[in-house]
């Protein structure tokens, strides 16, 4: 069992969880994920590790409550335990000194972006970060990202914080103002990653994305997470989760994420009416 050491609310339906998992904390590298299962009949869901504390033997996960499992997690209290936390899984982010790095995070995707940005900065790169969300209260980890970046730009769809507009508008502005980047890392909803990649491909900036397909075991056994990258089919769990964004078939990824949309909706409705809980919001993309 893995104990919840700390939980805090970062935004509407967005929670930070710190679980005791000393082996995972010790061996995890930026970019890797865990499989979480919260009770005996629970599903196995992949969550990228946002941070670790080796001394405490803990890992940090940041999760938006959008489906039955994540809503049930939101009900957890400090001291509660979950039966499964497996990892660190997947290949780590390739970190090296390349020069000027652009980190783009959207919504909950800022959580996995943070360790990658920090590692890129620690490796001696100049890091410019763009954080985007629909509204100000959905921007998370802004202080940590500011520390991990040389420059930080915030964009919101409604203009409640930073520049009004999309992250792609901010990228275009930077480049129009003469900024040059050797590498881009984009993490967020698939639709955001898709449009960032369309733009960075035009701009000639190599781009890494972190994908979040549906998984079951997370160890290469089921093939549920297969994604098309260039002309190859890859398993995100063992070949990824990070890939060359310019080669990823995002439309297929988004379609596959919707495989169980109606079952997830039914499970959620059943749970919500049963537990009488209220959703602050429903978000696009996987409703786990």
Partner 1 sequence: MNAKERMKIPPVDMPEQDPKERVSNLDEVPLGYTPEMAMMEAKRCIQCKTAFCIEGCPVGIDIPGFIKLIEDGDFKGAARKMKERNLLPAMCGRVCPQEEQCQLFCTIGKVRKNPCESVMIGKLERFIADWDREQGEFEQPPSVKSSGRRVAVIGAGPAGLTVAGDLVKFGHEVIVFEALHKAGGVLVYGIPEFRLPKKIVQSEVDYLEKIGVEFRYDHVIGKTIPVRKIVDDFDAVFIGTGAGLPRFMRVDGENLLGVLSANEYLTRANLMKAYDFPEADTPIVKGKKVITVGGGNVAMDCARTALRMGAERSLIVYRRAEEQMPARLEEIHHAKEEGVEFHLLQNPVRLVGDDRGWIKGAEVIKMELGEPDSSGRRRPVPIEGSEFIENTDALIVAIGNSPNPLVPNSFPDLEVTRWGGIVVNEITGQTSVPGVFAGGDIVLGAATVILAMGHGRRAARAMNLYLSSGRWVDLDSALDLSRAEVH
Q: Which of 143, 263, 276, 278 binds partner 1 (CB under 8 A)?
A: 263
Q: Which of 89, 101, 103, 192 binds partner 1 (CB under 8 A)?
A: 89
Q: Are 72 and 271 in contact (CB under 8 A)?
A: yes
* Residues binding partner 1: number (CB under 8 A): 42
Q: Which of 30, 87, 105, 107 binds partner 1 (CB under 8 A)?
A: 87
Between CA 21 and CA 26 the distance in angstroms is: 9
Q: Are 132 and 185 in contact (CB under 8 A)?
A: no
Peptide bond into 88 cis (omega under 30): yes
Q: Are 192 and 167 in contact (CB under 8 A)?
A: yes
Between CA 29 and CA 51 the distance in angstroms is: 9
Verify binding: residue 258, partner 1, rule CB under 8 A. Answer: yes
Q: Which of 48, 58, 60, 86 binds partner 1 (CB under 8 A)?
A: 86
Distance of CA 32 to the CA centre of its chain: 11
State which of positions 200-229 bind partner 1 (CB under 8 A): 216-217, 219-224, 226, 228
Between CA 196 and CA 267 the distance in angstroms is: 33
Q: Which of 238, 246, 247, 280 binds partner 1 (CB under 8 A)?
A: 238
State which of positions 51-80 bind partner 1 (CB under 8 A): 68-69
Q: Which of 9, 230, 270, 277 binds partner 1 (CB under 8 A)?
A: 270
- Please name which of 28, 31, 95 lies closest in space to residue 57, comparing C-alpha atoms: 28
Query: x/- binding map, residues 101-130, to partner 1, per CB under 8 A?
Result: ------------------------------
Which C-beta is closer to partner 1: that of 69 or that of 129? 69
What's the Cα-to-Cα distance from 207 to each of 104, 183, 186, rounded to whole Å? 10, 6, 7
Residue 18 beta carbon to partner 1: minimum distance, rounded to whole angstroms: 18
Q: Which of 99, 151, 259, 275 binds partner 1 (CB under 8 A)?
A: 259
Residue 38 beta carbon to partner 1: minimum distance, rounded to whole angstroms: 9
Contacts of 199 (CB under 8 A, 6+ apart): 168, 171, 172
User: Which tokens sit at 80?
Assistant: 């509660």
Contacts to partner 1 by CB under 8 A: 23-24, 27, 32, 35, 37, 41-44, 68-69, 83-89, 216-217, 219-224, 226, 228, 233, 238, 252, 255-256, 258-260, 263-264, 266-267, 270
């Amino acid at each position: 069992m893995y104990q919840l050491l700390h939980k805090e609310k970062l935004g509407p339906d967005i929670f930070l969880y710190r679980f005791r998992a000393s082996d995972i904390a010790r061996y995890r590298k930026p970019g890797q994920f865990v499989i979480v299962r919260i009770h005996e009949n629970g599903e196995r869901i992949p969550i990228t590790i946002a941070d670790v504390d080796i001394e405490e033997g803990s890992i940090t996960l940041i999760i938006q409550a959008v489906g039955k499992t994540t809503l049930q997690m939101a009900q957890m209290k400090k001291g509660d335990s979950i039966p499964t936390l497996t990892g660190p899984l997947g290949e780590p982010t390739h970190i090296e000194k390349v020069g000027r790095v652009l980190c783009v995070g959207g919504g909950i995707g800022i959580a996995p972006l943070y360790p990658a940005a920090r590692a890129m900065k620690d490796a001696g790169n100049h890091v410019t970060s763009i954080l985007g969300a629909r509204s100000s209260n959905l921007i998370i980890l802004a202080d940590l990202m500011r520390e991990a970046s040389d420059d930080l730009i915030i964009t919101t769809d409604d203009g409640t914080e930073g520049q009004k507009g999309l992250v792609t508008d901010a990228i275009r502005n930077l480049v129009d103002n003469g900024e040059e980047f050797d590498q881009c890392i984009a993490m967020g909803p698939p639709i955001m990653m898709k449009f960032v990649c369309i733009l960075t491909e035009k701009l000639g900036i190599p781009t890494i994305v972190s994908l979040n397909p549906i998984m079951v075991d997370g160890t290469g056994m089921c093939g549920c997470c297969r994604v098309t990258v260039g002309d190859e089919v890859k398993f995100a769990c063992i070949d990824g989760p990070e890939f060359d964004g310019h080669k990823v078939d995002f439309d297929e990824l988004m379609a596959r994420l919707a495989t169980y949309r109606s079952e997830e909706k039914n499970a959620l409705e059943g749970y919500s009416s049963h537990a009488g809980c209220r959703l602050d919001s429903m978000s696009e993309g996987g409703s786990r």
